[in-house]
Amino acid sequence: MSTELEREIARRRTFAIISHPDAGKTTLTEKLLLYGGAIHLAGSVKAKRARRHATSDWMELEKERGISVTSSVLQFPYRGHAVNLLDTPGHQDFSEDTYRTLAAADAAVMLIDAAKGVEPQTKKLFKVCRMRGIPIFTFVNKLDRYGRSPLELMDELEQVLGIRAYPMNWPIGSGPEFRGVYDRNSKNVHVFTSDESHGESEVAERVVPLDAPEMASVLTDAERAKLQEDIDLLDIGGDAFDRSKVDSGQLSPMFFGSAMTNFGVRPFLDAFLELAPLPAGRKAVTGFVEPTREAFSGFVFKIQANMDPSHRDRIAFLRVVSGKYEKGMSAFHSRLGKDVRLAKPSQFMAAERTAIEDAWPGDVIGLFDPGQYRIGDSLAKGGPLDFEGVPRFSPEHFAVVRAKDPLRRKQMEKGLEQLSEEGTIQIFQQPQMGMKDPIVGVVGALQFEVLQYRIEHEYGAQILLDRLPYTHARWVVGPQFDAKTFDWEGNRQTVQDRDGLPLVLFRDDWALQHAEDKHPEFTFLSAAPQLRAGAVVAAPA
C-alpha cells in the first residue's frame, strides 16, 4: 500500500445523519458546515420562507414545504480531516433514499429530540444501521427547550433500540437554563454564551477545568452540586467506554446540545471526528474489498437528474471503496460488461459542485451520467467486480400515470424514465391489459406529489394519477412464467418492470399468501432480480 493512499484514508470520515422528521437534522447539518468553515452564515430553518434556505435542501419543493425529500452530499475539510456528510431525507415517505445513502456511509449520527426521545422513523433507520453493523453516535438535540432527563433518554435507547449509550459529555441545565456541557474525558466544562445572532454564527465558548478555582464564577453552587452528583452516578453505574463496542455498533457515544443555538455543536464535531471510523471496505461477490486495495473501485448509490435546471444534466453519485480515482480514468462497468470513462468528476456542497482531479476511499464523487449508470452499479479498474447490491424496496403505493395534455406525452415519458433511473419511482407496464399508460409504484405516498411537481417543473408536462388498490409488488422467478397468460384475478395484476421482468401487484397480504399457496412452482421476491452483464441473478426475498 502506498504511503499516500494510507495517509488519505486516515484523513477521511464519511457519515450520515438519521432522525425522525422535525428532530432538527437540517439545522444540525447546517451547523456542522458552519463550524467546518464550509458556510459563513447559517440560515434559520424556521424562517426559510423569508430568508435563505438550508444549504442541504436544493429542490424548490423542499424549500416551499420546509422538508428534505432528497439526499445531498456535503463535503468540507475540518482540522485535517476530509469530511463527507451524507444528508438524508427527513420525511418518512422518502426513507428508501435514506436506506441507499446509508449503504455509502461508514457511521451514522442518530439525532434525538430531547423532549420526544426515540420516534418511529428513528427506529426504522436504526435497524438498517444495525444490520450493516456500522457505529452509531447519538446527539440529543433541543436542550434549549425543556425535555426529558438525560438518564431517561439513555434508558430509552436501551429499552427501545437495544443499544447501550456512553455519554461523552453531560448537559448542565436544560431549557432556558441550558448553560453548557461537561466533557467526561477532559474533565472540562464548556460554557456557552448566547448572543444576538440567533445561531447564525459560532457561539462564544469558555472552557474551564471542573476542579479549577474559577469554576465558582462559572457555575452556581446548585449547578456544580447537580453536575457532580450526575458525574458520580455515571462513573459508578454507567458503562465503561469500549472502543471495540463502538466500532461494532453495540455501544453508542452520546452527546448533548442544541443545534439551533449552537450550544455543544463544536465539542460534538471534534469528538465525533476523532472517534468515527476510517473508510471501510465493502463486500463483493468474490470477497471483501479493502480500502487499501491499490486498484480503484466504487459503486453507485444515488442518481440525481436536473440538479442544475439550466443544463438538464444527470449525476451519478459514486462511493469510492478502494484505490485512487483520477480524472479521466476508465473503469470496468460490471453490469454493462465493458470499460467506461468516468467523466466530469465533481464534489458537492448540496447543488453546488466543484471539479476535482482525484478522490480516495470514503469520498463521494459525482460523475456525469449519459444514461449508462443505475443505482447499485459496480465500477472497478482492471476487470469485473460486483459489490453487494444497494437495497431497493418493494413499492406500497401504485397509480396509473396519464399525460394531461396528450401532446406532452413524450416529455412525460422522458421524465418518468429519468426519475425511475434515479430510484425515485418504479415503472411497470401492463401487457395483459393492452394499455399504454404505465403504472408507477412508490414506497411513500408523498412521492406522488414530488413526481407531479418534478414532471411539471423539470419536463414541462402535467400528469394525472389514477390510484390503484394494490399494496405489494413481487417479482416472479420460476419456469415458464408468462405475465400475459398468468391467471389474473381482481385482487392482483401482472405487470413487467423496465427490464421486462415479470411481477405481480397484490391488493393485500391475503392475496399474496393465496398466490404463494396456489403457485408453489414460482418464487415471489420483494426485490427485483439483479441484472449483471446481461444475466439475471435472483435477489433474496
Question: Are 218 and 305 members of one domain?
Answer: no
- Residue 75, domain member (yes or no): no
Question: Are 289 and 370 members of one domain?
Answer: yes
Question: Which pLDDT score, from 0 to 100, does residue 541 have?
Answer: 35
Question: Which pLDDT score, from 0 to 100, does residue 52 have?
Answer: 41
Question: Which pLDDT score, from 0 to 100, does residue 458 have?
Answer: 83
Question: 18: buried, middle or exposed (CB in 10 Å: 19+, 13-18, 0-12)?
Answer: buried
Name the DSSP class of 177.
G
Question: Are 438 and 525 members of one domain?
Answer: yes
Question: Are 269 and 177 members of one domain?
Answer: yes
Question: Which pLDDT score, from 0 to 100, does residue 45 have?
Answer: 36
- Residue 7, domain member (yes or no): no
Q: What is the helix (H) or strand (E) element at residue 402, kind and residue range? A: strand 397-403
- Residue 232 CA: distances (Å) to CA of 170, 209, 237: 12, 16, 8
- Residue 271, domain member (yes or no): yes
Question: Are 366 and 438 members of one domain?
Answer: no
Give me the torsion for CA of 285, 287, 291, 296, rounded to 10°. -50
Strand partners for 167: 254
Question: Are 173 and 230 members of one domain?
Answer: yes
Question: Are 291 and 270 members of one domain?
Answer: no
- Residue 451 CA: distances (Å) to CA of 416, 418, 421, 457: 8, 11, 13, 10
**What is the span of the domain harbouring residue 330?**
282-380
List of residues 6+ apart from 172 with CB closer than 8 A: 178, 179, 180, 181, 182, 189, 191, 219, 223, 226, 227
Question: Are 325 and 252 members of one domain?
Answer: no
Name the DSSP class of 156.
H
- Residue 388, domain member (yes or no): no
Question: Are 134 and 176 members of one domain?
Answer: yes
Sign of CA dihedral 47, 311, 406, 374: negative
Name the residue among 203, 183, 194 with its Cα closest to residue 268: 183
Question: Can you tell me the distance from the alpha carbon of 85 to that of 32, in angstroms, rounded to the nearest whole number?
Answer: 9
Cell digits of residue 141: 438535540
Question: Are 405 and 502 members of one domain?
Answer: yes
Question: Which pLDDT score, from 0 to 100, does residue 383 have?
Answer: 86
List of residues 6+ apart from 458 with CB closer than 8 A: 305, 306, 309, 312, 415
From 275, 295, 310, the end of a domain falls on 275
- Residue 219, domain member (yes or no): yes
From 380, 409, 440, the end of a domain falls on 380
| C-alpha Rg value of the chain to the nearest Å | 25
Question: Are 270 and 287 members of one domain?
Answer: no
CATH number at residue 438: 3.30.70.3280
Single-letter code of the amino acid located at 502: P
Question: Which pLDDT score, from 0 to 100, does residue 274 have?
Answer: 94
Question: Are 403 and 492 members of one domain?
Answer: yes
Name the residue among 63, 119, 65 with its Cα closest to residue 95: 119
- Residue 2, domain member (yes or no): no
- Residue 74, domain member (yes or no): no
CATH number at residue 232: 3.40.50.300
Q: What is the helix (H) or strand (E) element at residue 253, kind and residue range? A: strand 251-256
From 336, 354, 380, the end of a domain falls on 380
Catalogue the E-assigned strands of 423-539. 426-428, 439-442, 463-468, 472-477, 492-496, 502-506, 523-525, 530-532, 535-537
- Residue 326, domain member (yes or no): yes
Residue 379: alpha-carbon gap to chain centroid: 21
Question: Which pLDDT score, from 0 to 100, does residue 89 have?
Answer: 63
pLDDT (tens place) for every residue of the chain, 541 residues total: 678 999 999 999 999 998 888 888 888 988 888 887 766 554 433 333 333 445 554 455 455 554 444 446 788 889 999 999 987 665 454 556 777 788 899 999 999 999 999 998 888 888 888 888 899 999 999 999 999 999 999 999 999 999 999 999 999 999 999 999 999 999 999 999 876 666 677 888 899 999 999 998 899 999 999 999 999 999 988 889 999 999 999 999 999 999 999 999 999 999 999 999 999 999 998 899 999 999 999 999 888 876 665 556 788 899 999 999 999 899 999 999 999 999 888 876 645 678 888 999 999 998 988 888 988 899 999 888 999 876 666 788 999 999 999 999 999 998 888 888 777 788 988 775 555 789 999 887 878 888 888 888 888 999 999 999 999 899 888 877 776 666 666 678 888 888 788 889 999 999 999 888 888 888 888 877 654 433 333 333 3
How many structural domains does the chain have?
3
